[in-house]
Amino acid sequence: MPSHLSADRPAAQPPGGGSVDALISQTRRLKGDVDAVRRDAGGDGSDPGDRWQRALCDLALHQLDDLDAHLAQLREGPPTPPAADGAALPRAAAAAGPWRGSLLSRVGSAEWNLLTDEAVWSAELYRILGRDPAAPPLTLDELPSVVPEEDRPKLTAMVTGCLVDGRPIDGEFRVARPDGEVRTVHMMGEPVLDADGGTAAMWAVLRDVSALRRSERTVSETLDSLQRHHDRAQTEHRVAVEAQEAVLPPWRGALRLPHGEPGPLDVAGRYLPAASGSMIGGDWYDALELPGGATLLSVGDLTGHGPTVTSSMAMLLGALRGMAMAGTRPGPLMTLLNQMLEATGRPALASALCCQYRPGKRTLTWAQAGHPAPLLFRDGTGRRLDTPRGALLGAAPGGSYGHAEEILREGDLLLLHTDGLVTGDPGRAGDAGAAGTGRLLALAARLDEARDAADCVRLVVKEFGAAERQDDACVLVARVTS
């Protein structure tokens, strides 16, 4: 008969819920059958064969209980990450107590006669304890000599409870073999009573569970490591979000720049997180009223994710704001930001776009550092502004950055964005970016009909806010109102 494990058969697939339920039902039926066999073994405890059979049935029932619990865990699925409120990661055996292996290890037996002080060991017990089969078995008085000192009280308590109080033995302790290896054994046994009800002997079945306990420790350590990983990820995510929220503008609709009255620009923006929700990057958008009535518009993206990136982004944006307030024009400002990244000692790359709008002559002066150019929409059509020179910040030590100017008209609309908005596939970012820019320009007629900048942002988010976006992004819209 050919083996059921055939090379022609496909590899086993993870079981579905129905097959796991079937296995659980089979396991519980088997437990009932084994329990019936145990009851049939009966006897008065005087026959070693009956005691051996009953002990093996006890071990089998013990393992089937574990199998039942493991299958239930399989049906429920793997442990989940902690909730945002800090709930602990569920452990594989949270409710069922210590985890045990699902397969029997090697089993040996022993009987100690209290009347004759004789002991009888099975050959397997000799092998488990690493002792010479020609040597006499250890008596109950000698057995503690092979047990580490810290485990001796446990062994003594189990043996005393069995011999004095007639309690069954069910516990574990370690033994030191002559070769220096330390094994863990699980001992189950009962007293053997004489005709007067006194204890005449003690029998036991000893199972080598060393490998199972090593697996248990590995599972526990792995789950602990997973818990720490999730805790760390949650903390880093929270810190990154807090740092991001501290520096991004606290507005999601139209921006009212200071001094109450609507300014020459109607501005709105939005931050769009990545689909995973856990990748907080270094994207930013900003609008700032400058001395003299000019307005600063900027977007940018510091490469990477996490708290370090968001803190560096906050530093970069703070420097950008400070230099703009001091009157630095966009081109020199980019040059200084590049020098600052070089001086921090923390290798980083960033793309950035900085626009300065002066309402007196409706002049837009802008510079970029490896960033998508602004899109200008006018009279229902859109175009990409010509890009001045400028490499990524941090990529060109000593580099300088040019600037460009554009005269705007009332009703013109500027759209600034980070590349995460239009590059959904990192493997083909260039193609996806060009196609995404085309999609943005195709919105020209609809943007022209929008009531205000906030409506324009909502339109862009609806078009590009799909769940499959793999990176976070920012979009900033400014419409010339006067």
Compute CA 278 distance to the chain's CA centroid, rounded to the nearest angstrom: 10
pLDDT digits (tens, 9 = 90+) for 226-275: 677 767 767 666 665 665 555 566 544 445 554 445 678 999 988 887 76
Q: What are phi and psi of 286, to 5 degrees?
A: -160, 150
Does residue 467 carry a pLDDT above 50? yes
Residues counted in the chain: 482
Of 288, 300, 293, give the one whose Cα is nearest residue 324: 288
| pLDDT above 70 (res 340) | yes
User: What mean pLDDT comes out for the span 422-426?
Assistant: 57
CA–CA dist 415, 374 (Å, integer)? 6
pLDDT band at 97 (very low <50, low <70, confident <90, very high): very low
Copy the structure tokens of residue 25: 């039902």
When pLDDT is averaged across residues 101-108 and rounded to a whole number, the result is 54
Beta-carbon contacts of residue 396 (< 8 Å; ≥ 6 apart): 338
Percent of the chain with pLDDT over 90: 40
In this structure, are residues 349 and 401 in contact, taking their beta carbons and an 8 Å threshold? no
Please provide the average confidence, as pLDDT, over all residues in the chain: 79
Q: At 195, phi and psi to the nearest 5?
A: -65, -25
**Cβ atoms 415, 385 nearer than 8 A:** no
Of 46-50, 65-69, 367-371, the one with minimum mean pLDDT is 46-50
Q: Which residues fall within 8 angstroms of residue 352, CB to CB, at 6 or more apart?
A: 298, 299, 300, 301, 316, 320, 334, 337, 368, 369, 370, 371, 393
pLDDT computed for residue 47 by the predictor: 59
At 407 the pLDDT is 95
Residue 55: predicted pLDDT: 64
Structure-token pair, residue 127:
């092998």
On the question of pLDDT at 89 being above 50, the answer is no
- The pLDDT of residue 468 is 63
Instruction: Using the predicted structure, report yes or no on whether residue 84 has a pLDDT greater than 50.
Output: no
Residue 42 φ/ψ, nearest 5 degrees: 40, -125
The mean pLDDT value for 136-158 works out to 94
Is pTM beyond 0.85? Reply is no
CA neighbor of 352 nearest in space, from 344, 386, 336, 453? 336
* Cα–Cα distance measured from residue 200 to residue 161, given in angstroms and rounded to the nearest whole number: 14
pLDDT at 477: 95
In which band, very low, low, confident or very high, does the pLDDT at 7 lie, cut at 50, 70 and 90? Answer: very low
